[in-house]
Structure 1
Amino acid sequence: MNVIWVVLIGIVALLAGLALGFFIARKYMMNYLKKNPPINEQMLRTLMMQMGQKPSKKKINQMMRQMNNQQQGK
């Protein structure tokens, strides 16, 4: 009888830990993405202008494709 309670409490604790961990990780990632948004075309255009390059639509599209391919390769 005691073994059943120990196993039952262990399973409940495991499920509660998984649920709590999921919500904590979700909250952390939402805050992280809010503070560090992924690079978009406007940010890339500004970065290129700061480096002294004249950004054309073709260059920006090419760099965005390269960045997306690099992220998918990880």
Structure 2
Amino acid sequence: MEWLTRAGFVLLGLIVGGVAGFFIARWYFKKQLEENPPINEDMIRAMYMSMGRKPSEAQIRQVMQNVNKNKPKGKNK
């Protein structure tokens, strides 16, 4: 019967650790997105302007398409 109690505690520890790890990872990911937001059209315009160029809307759309095409697979918003 002692081994059953130990197995129960191990299983409970794994479940609690998994849930805690999920929420910690979620918090860390949100923090990273706030500190380093994904690129947007305004950032692309600023990048072109810093290089001394005036981008056309077609160039901005093309850069955004390339960025979105090369994103890692997963949940994209």
TM-score, normalised to structure 2, is 0.89
Between the two proteins, the alignment pairs up a number of residues equal to 73
Residue 72 of structure 1: CA displacement? 3.8
What is the RMSD computed on CA atoms of the aligned residues? 1.1
Structure 1's consecutive aligned runs of 4 or more residues displaced over 4 angstroms after TM superposition are none
Rounded to whole Å, the distance in 2 between the matches of 1:50 and 1:43 is 10
Rounded to whole Å, the distance in 2 between the matches of 1:20 and 1:36 is 24
Rounded to whole Å, the distance in 2 between the matches of 1:7 and 1:63 is 54
Residue 68 of structure 1: CA displacement? 0.9
Rounded to whole Å, the distance in 1 between the matches of 2:45 and 2:35 is 20
Rounded to whole Å, the distance in 1 between the matches of 2:40 and 2:31 is 18
Instruction: Give the partner amino acid of 1:18.
Output: G
Which deviations, in whole Å up to 9, do the C-alpha atoms of 1:27-68 show, x marking residues without a partner?
111110000000001111111111111111100000000011
Q: Percent identity over the alignment? A: 40
The reply on whether 1:25 has 2:52 as its aligned counterpart is: no
User: Where is the helix percentage greater, Structure 1 or Structure 2?
Assistant: 1
